[in-house]
């Protein structure tokens, strides 16, 4: 018995058939439209990068557990990109002399991580990355928060469906060292505990806190920060609060765009101050959708020039889950508009002429590749979603006419070839002949 190769894709990757690809394309193009209206320009980069650019600043989880790595024939250690931010920082550093700052760029890269596949996590994903380089002002934060509101609105999401939660790495470090009295060498592991706060039980949190050396008093103080971060920040010295870009935003008219939340930590080491995440508010999908923040030192890995950056990555898996949860996914657009049917092989040439006219007019048009009975072709056209057919028959074509039939109403009329596009368009627009 013959053995065949498997038809399933590699675990954690996905096939996208035309209907699903149509939905994804519509979703992403809505986001592209919003981004380009803000002046962001699209770019791309290689899928293979030196491992070192991730070892320098990506999260330890990605570096130690999730990188797909290889060694090329020249002995160079490479990785399939797990994220785009180190790559774009490299590109900015390498082209800084030719760029006019601030730079607004976006991309839609294919990224790879060796994840344990589950809801919201796969091993290959697509991610819209949005970055701005060259400005350290709080206007950057405000622009990004407004941009995110417009991107979510462009997908049909209302403000009650999601929440933009923000924090500040500088403020968080101050809260941990000054209020909780965590030693500097424990700040990182304590921040990781905060990052898990909503994901595990109180008993597990208490056990983890004890495991990293926090006293009961420190753990209780940490809980107070979680319950009322604004009040905790108010205890910090005024000069420190005034230096925070996020605090400046929260004290401005843009404050209603965000919710302050000290639980927002973000796992990447390159974030330097403002960090944020967007969350679904639906109880059936209450999770983080995407996030980002400010990284003022990342370009410094490649150049002595200081170029501050701010950006985020919006992954396709959680985004599609969010839209599906809220009933916001568009309908697929895979149907053809018109099918041109020759009734004899000798009529394929005029059928091609008619099809070309329809395509030139912007209608999605197909023709059969072989002659079948007219009834079967009409049935196939209906299954393909066509709303009109153009029938090229012997008697009609003898006078250079064709029959245009509506598959919606069943009505039809004979027209000359020059009128075929206007009659077909009327059917598509108004469902009548």
**What are residue 121's DSSP bridge partners?**
118
3-class SS at 232? helix
127 is in an annotated binding site: yes
116 contacts 65 by C-beta, under 8 angstroms = no
Q: Copy the structure tokens of residue 65.
A: 């557990």
131 is in an annotated binding site: yes
Residue-by-residue DSSP string for 239-301: HHHHH-HHHHHHTSGGGGG-EE-TT---S-TT--SEEEEEEE--GGG-SEEEEEEEESSSGGG
Sheet of 77-80: strand order equals: 48-50, 77-80, 68-71
Please choose, from the candidates 354, 377, 378, the residue with its C-alpha nearest in 3D space to the C-alpha of residue 365: 354
Enumerate residues 6+ apart whose C-beta is below 8 A from 182: 176, 190, 214, 218
345 is in an annotated binding site: no
85 is in an annotated binding site: yes
H helix runs in 44-137, sequence order? 52-57, 60-61, 85-95
Q: 342 — phi, psi (to 5°)?
A: -80, 140
CA separation for the pair 62, 97 (Å, rounded): 32
271 is in an annotated binding site: yes
Binding-site residue ranges: 83-85, 113, 127, 131, 266, 270-271
Binding-site residue ranges for L-histidine: 83-85, 113, 127, 131, 266, 270-271
């Amino acid at each position: 018995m013959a053995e065949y190769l498997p038809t399933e894709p590699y675990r954690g990757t996905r096939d996208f058939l035309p209907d699903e690809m149509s939905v994804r394309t519509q979703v992403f193009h809505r986001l592209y439209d919003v981004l380009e209206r803000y002046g962001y320009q699209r770019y791309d980069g290689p899928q293979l990068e030196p491992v070192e650019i991730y070892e320098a600043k990506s999260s330890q989880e990605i570096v130690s557990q999730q990188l797909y790595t290889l060694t090329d024939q020249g002995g160079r250690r490479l990785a399939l990109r797990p994220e785009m931010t180190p790559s774009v920082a490299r590109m900015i550093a390498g082209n800084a002399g030719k760029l006019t700052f601030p730079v607004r760029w976006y991309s839609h890269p294919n990224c790879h991580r060796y994840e344990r596949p589950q809801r919201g996590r796969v091993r290959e994903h697509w991610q819209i990355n949005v970055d701005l380089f060259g400005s350290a002002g709080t206007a950057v934060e405000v622009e990004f928060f407004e941009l995110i509101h417009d991107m979510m609105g462009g997908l049909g999401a209302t403000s009650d469906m999601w929440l933009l939660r923000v924090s500040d790495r500088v403020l968080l470090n101050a809260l941990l060292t000054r209020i909780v009295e965590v030693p500097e060498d424990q700040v990182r592991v304590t921040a990781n505990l905060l990052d898990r706060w909503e994901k595990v039980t109180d008993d597990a949190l208490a056990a983890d806190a004890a495991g990293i050396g926090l006293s009961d008093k420190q753990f209780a103080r940490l809980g107070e920060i979680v319950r009322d971060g604004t009040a905790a920040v108010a205890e910090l010295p005024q000069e420190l609060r005034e230096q925070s870009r996020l605090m400046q935003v929260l004290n401005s008219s843009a404050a209603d765009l965000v919710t302050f939340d000290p639980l927002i930590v973000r796992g990447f080491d390159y974030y330097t101050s403002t960090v944020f995440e967007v969350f679904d508010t639906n109880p059936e999908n209450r999770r983080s959708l995407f996030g980002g923040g400010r990284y003022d030192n990342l370009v410094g890995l490649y150049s002595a020039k200081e170029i501050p950056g701010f950006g985020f990555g919006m992954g396709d898996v959680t985004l599609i889950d969010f839209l599906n949860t809220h009933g916001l996914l568009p309908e697929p657009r895979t149907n053809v508009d018109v099918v041109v049917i020759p009734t004899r092989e000798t009529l394929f040439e005029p059928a091609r002429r008619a099809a070309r006219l329809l395509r030139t007019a912007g209608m999605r048009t197909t023709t059969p590749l072989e002659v079948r009975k007219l009834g079967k072709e009409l049935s196939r056209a209906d299954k393909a979603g066509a709303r009109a057919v153009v029938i090229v028959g012997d008697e009609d074509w003898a006078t250079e006419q064709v029959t245009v039939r509506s598959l919606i109403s069943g009505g039809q009329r004979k027209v000359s070839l020059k009128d075929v596009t206007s009659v077909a368009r009327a059917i598509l627009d108004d469902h009548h002949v």
